Copies of this chain bind each other. A is one copy, B any other.
Amino acid sequence: MRVLILGGDGFCGWPASLRLSAQDHVVGIVDNFARRRADVELGAESLTPIEPLTTRIAAWREVTGRTLESWELDVAHDYDGLLELLGEWETDAVVHFAEQRAAPYSMKSSRHKRYTVDNNINATHNLLAAIVESGRDVHVVHLGTMGVYGYGAAGVRIPEGYLRVRMDREDGGEVEQEILFPADPGSVYHMTKTQDQLLFGFYNKNDEVRITDLHQGIVWGTQTEETRRDERLINRFDYDGDYGTVLNRFLMQAAIGYPLTVHGSGGQTRAFIHLQDSVRCIQLAVEHPPKRGERVRIFNQMTEVHRVIDLARLVARLTVSPIDLPDNPRKEASRNDLFAENRQLLDLGLQPITLEDDLLREVTDIAFQYRHRCDRDKIPCRSRWVRDGVSPPRGTWAPPSRAAAGSRASSRAR
């Protein structure tokens, strides 16, 4: 198949691109390098030494003989470029990672909130509108999040996207219907993913666009079979307070002798998946598209469920580290249970890598090997979910993908 990967230079996008290429798909990478620019903004860097995309692509060619095409394009703001590419490149599927993906980053300030909404909604909508305008029957595989469900579902098992509910009819009877699971997002970032669901629902109903939405758990791990083949192919590893995910942050902290930071009580239960499984799931989704006219297909892309404090204890035991419990900056329940379905991807053949299998390798291969590159100042999470937090000074920040965001233009009415 011919597959375009939007955001194909990112943490999940790059290993997904390699995976699909290794499986004999023809892969094109689209990226605006917003994630690399966010590193510049935050003064942060991947723990692992990632190469520029051109070097990565050249290394992949050298190692495998396979070619990856690439384009620098802002999907959210260059609609004509995207439309032209969809037509000319004759893609069968688009994997859509082109969204700002960090909850803490999305809550840093008003500007970060606005950037996240503007980028994520316009990126998804431009893609859908371009597919319709192109007249091509392109399958969209989107990276969503388990966070669309919220975490307060009162003991209800989280299904794969759709929930059967019963309600009262006007005539006194009862009716059972299947609805999209009620959204309860915990950050502006998560909220944009719930808005994406409405975009998908509409374009699927109105234009029969074929869509698979992958509600991903928290990804852990860094490398995949493909990224391990050459150091120039290495994937990024974020440990900073904005982009670092919880387990990767624990591993990094352990490696440098920093106490493991558990915000609040650590009683929150979350869903997890190893990066290697994540790219396998994307391959499975691409290779098993829904039929035309089928409703949006939703998979829960997660393999394990853990309480945050239990993960911290596990890493603490493996690495002999202390645990620190600062206040939780997020507005969320201090404790929750989580029961979630993930049958569909298992039925397609996914064989999960468990924490038990692979955690120690991650500690030694990545966290310990590259710990000299760590900047300890970047570890604390400084985003505040509510407005008593400190916003950066005005005028010092520009969104990563757009140089000028429109000048002040108000004036008296005509």
Contact = CB atoms under 8 A, between A and B. Distances in A.
Contact of A409 (B81, B118, B171): B81
Interface stretch (A124-132, A138-146, A219-227, A306-314): A124-132
B78 A410 contact: yes
B122 A110 contact: no
Given A182-B180, A386-B206, A387-B135, A74 B125 contact: no
A199 to B, nearest CB: 7
Interface stretch (A40-48, A157-165, A210-218, A362-370): A157-165
Given A387-B132, A414-B52, A170 B198 contact: no
A191 B414 CA distance: 32
A206 B205 CA distance: 32
Contacts of A122: 114, 117-118
Nearest to A202: B191
A113 B125 contact: yes
B54 A414 contact: yes
Interface string A386-414: 11000100000000000001101111111
Contact of A179 (B52, B77, B182, B406): B182
B133 A110 contact: yes
A167 B166 contact: yes
Count of chain copies: 2
Contacts of A157: 168-170
Interface string A80-92: 1101010000000
A414 B125 contact: no
Given A206-B386, A386-B207, A198 B185 contact: yes
Contact of A117 (B121, B135, B179, B205): B121
A156 B163 CA distance: 17
Interface string A35-75: 00000000000000000111001000000000000111110
Interface in A1-39: 9, 29, 31, 33
A319 interface: no
A83 to B, nearest CB: 8
A183 interface: yes
A150 B375 CA distance: 52
Interface in A90-130: 110, 113-114, 117-118, 121-122, 125-126, 129-130
A321 interface: no
B185 A191 contact: no
A133 B166 contact: no
A12 B207 CA distance: 31
Contact of A408 (B31, B54, B78, B414): B78
Interface in A169-208: 169-171, 173, 175, 177, 179-180, 182-183, 185, 188, 191, 194-195, 198-199, 201-202, 205-207
Q: Which of A118, A130, A135, A175 has the most CB of B within 10 A?
A: A118
10 contacts: A53-B414, A74-B409, A81-B410, A85-B410, A154-B169, A156-B175, A165-B167, A166-B167, A191-B199, A205-B331
Given A157-B169, A206-B385, A207-B387, 18 more contacts: A29-B413, A72-B411, A78-B408, A79-B114, A81-B409, A114-B125, A114-B126, A117-B125, A121-B121, A135-B387, A155-B169, A155-B170, A157-B168, A164-B167, A165-B166, A165-B167, A177-B182, A195-B198
The 8 A-B residue pairs whose C-beta atoms are closest, nearest first, are A81-B410, A165-B165, A70-B413, A73-B410, A179-B182, A110-B133, A155-B169, A195-B195
